Structure 1
């Protein structure tokens, strides 16, 4: 007997593949920059989403007693807001049951309005700009701490531990880069004897920073904070070295990657670069994270770059909410997501009333011998 299933755009009922006995399909959309300067981070995210989906399907997932197949629908936003909104609409039109993404705040925030209007739940594993959850969209969540916490933590570290007095700040004018630089500026404001001696900006696609760095050099900073991605921070560090600027270099999670060592080369120095990653584990949870990294490397023959563990947990959290709700309809599993407590690779995941992760962690790093080296995990 043939069964016709009506797919409701907002509720997004499960799609049947023809007959009454056919297995149901749950579509999960994933969005990250798979092309462009941040492609290594986007591919890292896509891999982790695929890994989670493969594991769920291998184990067997049932929703309301019905076995389902989870299908990953992956799109490339190129870290571009215009492309991001285009693929967001494409995923809405494909009737996905939920969204995992985006990486960049500048793409995630405009896309979130499209998902909200369509009634689709979004969990971002990487968006840190405060504006993302400040919109108060009920279906928007994130599993990493926001830039408010990152900026305050790094500002305190710069003053108390690194003893910075004269600070220069550079950002790449993206929503993320400018936002994290603004939060850092707030974090150092009012520090005893601390001055922000310069505030400069570049772009996410620039390759020559000589003009702004020359201007900064004249102001003799002992610390430079950069808001942006590793694809800009690396070449910038090379030019800082070439200009003979002795300042310590600091930045947020966008540049806090293993790839920074390769991108910066000799400009990395030894214990001169500091950064913070949104998230992090310590104690017994470290073994869980190590096991994940080993499974990831075995599956993809490459190391985790940055956000893979958070993508993996995002998929698992969304799937768990669907199982708890006995439905893949976003309107029905959203209440379960709001009250969820999930023990993941990255630790305990619970959300506050805005959709922010509760008690989010930050991990502080420096670079030694060209390698990223953990200093501490703080909450």
Structure 2
């Protein structure tokens, strides 16, 4: 009787086991969340503190002596090359020009008479009516008068130049500082700067790159002897990004001993004068030559003793283990330097319930 009960129990258990096994084999595929491999351009950027510098700065100085009679600019305003900035009294210089003109005209008249006399003596010499000495004397007089004309012409040019210096103009486009001397002051070439014109468009931003970064970028071909290929961006003090990018226009020729860094300088367009010399800015440099590479969410990545790996769902919905090599993190994604290609599907949820060669029901994960 007891043996019959045991046999019955085993039979029931065996039937139950067969039923459970049949149910498992007939169950629907495991649902998993998947994400497609994306192609992104690797982020290769660094940040530095930079200082804005003028591309050109010129002190405005007097080149002749005299009293300032006019100031023609607004302090702090914009000026163009050739704009009149100051006027020095002209009377003495105009008088010098007039005197030089008169002297030149007198010298020309004297020379004309000497040339007429020289021609007359040449004709007489040809006839034998005068000696060679008489002709030579006439020629010497004409030559002397010619030199007097040349000297008078040079003096007139000098006087005209000095008269021109009474109008002090801007040598460059830019913004002009406040004036150091006002109308009524006596100025000359030793007075010093009357004002300073600073060129602000384009404008420079200088920053210092660490020696290690410099070596890395040189080895990558990003920095050469004549400049660099990467683009430069700026963030202003209020957190806004400067609207245009700059280009490296200078790479330092030596390493700063105190900081083990090298100076780099970028040139920016500055049409609205947002950048002011002396201003501090945040500089970011990035390499735009990088080619796109695969990237996946961090949730898809697993690690064992062998390597990093992911589960890839193929066209037949079968799971495949794929060993990968990771690059750098870019936002919420990880770059993959080896093991994946664009468009493949990797499992991001349900990883604990799957294994290689298993058929699954993939559902695209919500972004």
Bigger share in strand: 2
Higher RCO, Cα 8 Å, sep 6+: 2
TM-score (norm 1): 0.21
Rg (Cα) greater in structure: 2
Bigger share in helix: 1
TM-score (norm 2): 0.21
